[in-house]
Amino acid sequence: MPHRLPHATWFTGLLVAGMLLFLGGCAMVTVGDVTPREYIAQRRGDILSSRHLSGQTAETLAMAGVDAAPCESEPLPCINALAAVSPMGEERRQSALAELWLARATGKGFGVVQEGDREQAEAYLEVARHAYAYLFFTERTAPERAFEDRQTQVRDYYNYAVQQFAVALGHRARRNPNVPLAIDLGGTHVAVDLHDLAWANEHPREVVAASAMRFEGIRSTFRRDGLGAELVVDLRPDEGADIKDPYRSMPTPSATAFLRFAGDNLDAVLHADNAVLEGHDPFQDATVSVGPTTVPLAGNFTAGYGLWLARSGFASQSLATLFGRERGIRDPRIYLMQPYDPDRRVILLLHGLASSPEAWVNVANDILGDERLRRHFQVWQVYYPTNMPIAINNRAIRDAFAKTLAHYDPTGKAVASNHMVIVGHSMGGVIARLMVSSSGDTIVDDVAQGSARRKAYLVRRANEIDPYLRFTALPNFDEAIFIAAPHRGTVFAGNTLARLVSNLIRLPAAMVTRVGGMLADLANDDGTAQGKKVPLVPNSVDNLRSEDAFVKAAARLAIDPRVRYHSIIARRNPEGPLEDSDDGLVPYWSSHLDGAASEKVIVSGHSVQETPQAVLEVRRILNDNVDREGATP
């Protein structure tokens, strides 16, 4: 039989073994499973996402003999301890210091500091400094760490800190417009350089962080990942400001802030007493360089447009315009969706009846978000009074367009002034077609109606009448897209509801007097107005009737042969013959144009331009346009 030790002997042996392990300093190593949530938390969780320090910073503090837990609420002692540890890799140190300063800037204990706003700004400045040092002046270059989670975290620390710093400076500038933008914080002088921005000399109402806004009504947010804070600057004029020029930039441009520290090595950056907050236009600048390292510059191409639409009041203003009420507009305006760029061709958008630039929210946003299209095009939007007769709007928009070109490109030789694309929806499509057509004598002959006396009157009053009845195709356009456009009018404009709306429309008194007088003179000159009622001045709804004389004459005008044109047509019901279909307002026979380079029919109502299918078709046409121009794909 095997020899058995007494029970007491076994216990004594275990006790001795335990003491030996304790005295020898051996650690017990165990292993467990990691859940998917823990997997992400280990790699991505940090002070921004979870309000707790990242695993990497906790490990770095442990290497320095510092317990991470107290550092979340009292980071300053940990910052000082970590800065003094040697030896330590600077990638570890600087990335951890950036996160600890961010804990300081965003932590609960911050409120006890005197002059909290200034102290907080200093903390954000230090976040940016240590993140900048990590990104550009540690053992490896940023491209060498391109796929590392830690670099992504530190980039976010930098971007968030610069964002908060820039927004705070914006608030300070708004409260004290006469105070210089430069500021001294904690021994560091921070200058502000906005010379690359077209609006550098204007005083913003507000600087808004793009990341702080969430939009409804916009399908997608388009942005470029990179370094820098994505901002929107609100430059809207004060209420009642008199702006006489028809052209204006969108008043909420996008900008990217980049905070650059003096010095060309790690020690110099960490002790730099000078920094510059640079403003960049993300439409112009795609990269930023520090020494030999070039990295992508962050940019947001949706937030500025979204904020403009959200604060514009277009929905109520467009209705006020239609019915001739206060707050409506009387003259066309042309909005540039980004600062003018002479080297990008123009896409000109014209909305429809009772509408505004809001009609193009997803079309314009998707164009701005398409990197290839963004390189080659800039978007201009026409905002015009949709109560006015089509002939008058055609003339007024042409005049506003000419003044815009004369202002930005007096010689007419810039890339921007040539090979443009015009896109119109509904009534805007009718006007767009007129802008790429020449009238010749067609409309004048229709007005004369074969009467020699009426024709003679038109000749005598040619200076007043010809601007509305005679025009030539604008040479700037060589591509056109017509969306749900009633080129031949629509029977729906003559139904009971449309007539009711038409009766509610009010036109400016001066215009009624001028045009009404011409109509009366035309009738009297022919001797046929005796005892008859003088015709009323037609408004925009009247012009859209299929029996309207002007729209019938305009429908016969030939589009300039230089212009390649396309139709996007909607039909409510996918069943039945295409020729008998309509979109609820415009029948197919009115939207269809012979000779179109393409025709896309989409099952939709009249607001078809809002559908993903229409937006994709517009983008397809524009990309084909780029290909034909011989641009590099």
Q: Is it the case that residue 23 has pLDDT exceeding 60?
A: no
At residue 159, the pLDDT reads 98
At residue 57, the pLDDT reads 96
Give CA–CA dist 606/599, Å, rounded.
16
**Contact at 8 Å (CB) between 420 and 348?**
yes
Share of the chain above pLDDT 90, in %: 66
Residues 468-523 pLDDT 10s: 889 999 999 999 999 999 999 887 655 666 555 655 566 666 666 666 666 656 55
Give the HSE-up count for residue 350: Cα atoms under 13 Å, Cβ half-sphere. Answer: 32
Residues 106-142 pLDDT 10s: 985 443 333 447 899 999 999 999 999 999 999 999 9
Q: Is it the case that residue 12 has pLDDT exceeding 80?
A: no
What are residue 566's phi and psi, to 5 degrees?
A: -135, 150
* b/e 361-394 (16+ beta carbons within 10 angstroms → b): bbbbbbbbbbeebbebbbbbbbbbbbbbbbbbbb
- Strand intervals (E) in 133-228: 183-185, 188-193, 206-209, 223-224
**Alpha helix locations (H) across 421-476?**
427-435, 442-448, 452-460, 462-469
Residue 561 neighbours by CB distance under 10 Å: 8
Mean pLDDT of the chain: 87
Comparing 133 with 240, which gets the higher pLDDT?
A: 133
- Predicted model pTM: 0.87
* b/e 59-68 (16+ beta carbons within 10 angstroms → b): ebbeebebeb
At residue 110, the pLDDT reads 44
At residue 534, the pLDDT reads 47
Read off the pLDDT band of 567 (50, 70, 90): very high
Superfamily (CATH) of domain 313-628: Alpha/Beta hydrolase fold, catalytic domain (3.40.50.1820)
Q: Is it the case that residue 525 has pLDDT exceeding 60?
A: no
38: helix, strand or coil: helix
Residues 62-83 pLDDT 10s: 999 999 999 999 999 999 999 9
**Contact at 8 Å (CB) between 94 and 130?**
yes
Domain layout of the chain by residue ranges? 44-303, 313-628
